[in-house]
């Protein structure tokens, strides 16, 4: 991408000769002898140009024979992802403007208003906007500590490979990798040493894999590899053996010579499963078995692991019984304005009072609840309880205090969510503007008609949308323009080491700098120490949530907390 003060490389797509000459003259007036211009007359030749060369900006007419500029934007490949598209039309139209933005255009410009200053400004703004979008996209697809792909990108690529391999009937494999004894290294040598080890492991993983593979850090000490091109079953076992062998090579950490080890679970397509959830579940079961067998080994999923699935079914039945027996409570974690030192919202979090087991967090049951068809009932319960609670504390003297409820992507499948939300508001009397729905990024930019329709209905009610856990499972920042977003949460994966680790600190610093430009209302989540909170405040962070402020609290304790803040 060209710098601001360097002449951009421009592709002009225009089938009208008079307009083509006019735009070329304006560009020559702007850039004089430094103009770098390639001209195409239709979508086909434009696509060829984009395929063979990189452009900073593409000026495309809306009407291009039987096709349109929107067709061109929609057909562009990943190679031209960094190109800013500006759509030119004969006359202004709000519908075309909206369609252009939804298709991915950076700017829209009616030809009636064309002048050299206007065109120069539009090109400059479109390029700068595209640069910001690309920076956000790179941040959102990459684990900031190791530079590997993150969970969100791994899952997206896995879905793509599944579709490709179903057509070609070719096998592939996924490997889930957990480091053995990582916690003890963190505890004895400190988090800095632990981070150094994770970066070292990431480097080893890159060396062990091929260019066609995807190596990712899913979180903590959990890694994954998508081995997309397999010729024989032995290919994946040889890869696993190579990873285990290379991981054991000694490393000097904080003056200590250590060797690392790992456990690996493998799942094969299509023999073991032919869906994302199935492949991940089976690989996870195989990983669990590898740990049971003594670690530092790999296990390929097999039928014997079905017993593990039976245990999951038992958990599902206990969850269903727990719902009927009212064993689930809603806790509330404050969201804090560090500037005013006031609570401005609370996140509603489900807790299970499991018989004989005490309080159980969703981390231990949410996956089984989702796969067992219980998530919709749980979400309805949380929405109803959270709205009642919020209406209560508003009546108690906090009229603008909002409550946030997590909504999983699967909640949109039935199409009932708007009705469930509307009912919760009506039954509680809570104002719609005081209910925030926290969504995964892909839910917002999926661009599926059913999801878009439900989001529109919710937006018309006055509901606010929050994008959850940026840095953990979100990679669509540039697509936020398609739906109104009131808040974006920066997840614990980025917050954990801010102020200590240079990489994490630089990433968080960049995000809050961008927040000032894009007004994303960023909220730091997972703030565990007062030092983190203090550092975040110096970087311009205004909203924070985490145990350093308060852990999730039962309703009565949360109300007491409010009285003190």
Distances (CA, A) of 416 to 191, 350, 380, 383, 408: 45, 21, 10, 13, 13
Distances (CA, A) of 219 to 65, 244, 544: 49, 19, 21
354, two tokens: 């499991």
Could you write out the DSSP letters of every residue in 212-248? TSEEEEEETTEEEEEE---SSHHHHHHHHHHHHHHHT
Buried (b) or exposed (e) across 82-109, using 16+ Cβ within 10 A? bbbbbbbbeeeeeebbebbeebbbbbbb
Cα 428-460-463 angle, rounded to 5 deg: 50
User: Of all residues in the chain, what percent are helix, strand and coil, respectively (each to 5)?
Assistant: 50, 20, 25
Q: Which of 221, 469, 501, 515 is catalytic?
A: 221
Pairwise CA distance, residues 77 & 48, whole Å: 11
* Three-class SS of 399-455: CCCEEEEEECHHHHCCCCHHHHHHHHHHHHCCCHHHEEEEECHHHHHCCCHHHHHHH
Cβ proximity of 432 and 461 under 8 Å: yes
Pairwise CA distance, residues 69 & 495, whole Å: 41
List CB contacts of 219: < 8 A, sequence separation 6 or more.
Answer: 151, 472, 493
The separation between CA 510 and the C-alpha centre of its own chain, rounded to angstroms, equals 17
Cβ proximity of 435 and 463 under 8 Å: yes
Pairwise CA distance, residues 126 & 86, whole Å: 7
SS3 110: strand
Instruction: Quickly tell me which residue has 């060396």 as its tokens.
Output: 207
Pairwise CA distance, residues 361 & 343, whole Å: 23
* Three-class SS of 285-326: HHHHHHHHCCCCCEEECCHHHHHHHHHHHHHHHHHHHHHHCC
Pairwise CA distance, residues 137 & 147, whole Å: 13
Determine whether 337 is an active site residue: no
Pairwise CA distance, residues 222 & 472, whole Å: 13
Cα 398-402-405 angle, rounded to 5 deg: 145
Cβ proximity of 328 and 365 under 8 Å: no
Distances (CA, A) of 75 to 10, 68, 265, 330, 452: 18, 11, 38, 46, 22
Residues with catalytic function: 221
């Amino acid at each position: 991408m060209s710098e601001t003060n360097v002449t951009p490389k421009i592709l002009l797509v225009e089938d009208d000769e008079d307009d083509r000459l006019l735009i070329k003259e304006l560009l020559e007036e702007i850039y004089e002898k430094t103009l770098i211009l390639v001209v195409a007359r239709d979508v086909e030749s434009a696509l060829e140009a984009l395929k063979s060369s990189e452009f900073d900006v593409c000026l495309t007419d809306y009407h291009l024979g039987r096709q349109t500029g929107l067709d061109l934007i929609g057909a562009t490949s990943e190679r031209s992802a960094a190109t800013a598209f500006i759509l030119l039309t004969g006359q202004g139209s709000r519908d075309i403007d909206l369609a252009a933005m939804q298709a991915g255009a950076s700017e829209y410009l009616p030809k009636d208003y064309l002048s050299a200053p206007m065109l120069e400004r539009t090109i400059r703004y479109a390029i700068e906007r595209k640069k910001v979008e690309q920076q956000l996209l790179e941040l959102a697809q990459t684990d900031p500590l190791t530079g590997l792909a993150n969970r969100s990108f791994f899952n997206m690529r896995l879905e793509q490979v599944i579709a490709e391999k179903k057509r070609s009937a070719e096998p592939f494999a996924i490997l889930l990798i957990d480091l053995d004894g990582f916690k003890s290294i963190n505890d004895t040598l400190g988090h800095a040493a632990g981070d150094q080890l994770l970066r070292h492991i990431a480097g080893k993983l890159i060396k062990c894999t091929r260019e066609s593979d995807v190596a990712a850090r899913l979180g903590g000490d959990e890694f994954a590899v998508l081995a997309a091109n397999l010729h024989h079953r032995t290919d994946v076992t040889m890869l696993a053996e190579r990873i285990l062998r290379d991981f054991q090579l000694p490393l000097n950490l904080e003056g200590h010579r250590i060797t690392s080890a790992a456990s690996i679970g493998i799942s094969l397509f299509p023999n073991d499963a032919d869906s994302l959830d199935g492949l991940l579940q089976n690989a996870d079961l195989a990983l669990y078995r590898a740990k049971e067998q003594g670690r530092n080994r790999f296990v390929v999923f097999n039928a014997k692991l079905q017993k593990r699935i039976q245990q999951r079914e038992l958990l599902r039945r206990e969850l269903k019984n727990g719902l009927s027996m009212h064993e689930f409570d809603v806790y509330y974690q404050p969201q804090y304005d560090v500037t005013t030192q006031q609570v401005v919202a609370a996140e509603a979090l489900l807790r299970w009072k499991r018989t004989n087991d005490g309080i159980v967090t969703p981390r231990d049951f949410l996956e089984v609840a989702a796969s067992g068809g219980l998530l919709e009932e749980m979400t309805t319960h949380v929405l109803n309880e959270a709205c009642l609670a919020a209406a209560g504390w508003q009546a108690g003297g906090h009229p603008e205090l909002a409550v946030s409820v997590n909504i999983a992507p699967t909640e949109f499948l039935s199409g009932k969510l708007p009705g469930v939300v509307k009912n919760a508001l009506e039954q509680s009397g809570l104002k719609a503007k005081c209910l925030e729905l926290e969504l995964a990024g892909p839910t917002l930019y999926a661009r599926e008609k059913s999801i878009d329709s439900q989001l529109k209905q919710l937006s018309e009610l006055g509901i606010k949308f929050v994008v959850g856990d940026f840095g953990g499972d979100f990679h669509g920042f540039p697509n936020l323009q398609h739906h109104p977003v009131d808040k974006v949460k920066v997840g614990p994966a980025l917050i954990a080491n801010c102020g200590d680790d240079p990489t994490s600190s630089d990433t968080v610093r960049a995000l809050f700098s961008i927040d000032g430009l894009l007004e994303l209302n960023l909220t730091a989540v997972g703030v565990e120490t007062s030092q983190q909170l203090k550092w975040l405040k110096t970087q311009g962070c205004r909203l924070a949530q985490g145990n350093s402020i308060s852990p999730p609290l039962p309703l009565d304790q949360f109300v007491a907390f409010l009285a003190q803040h």
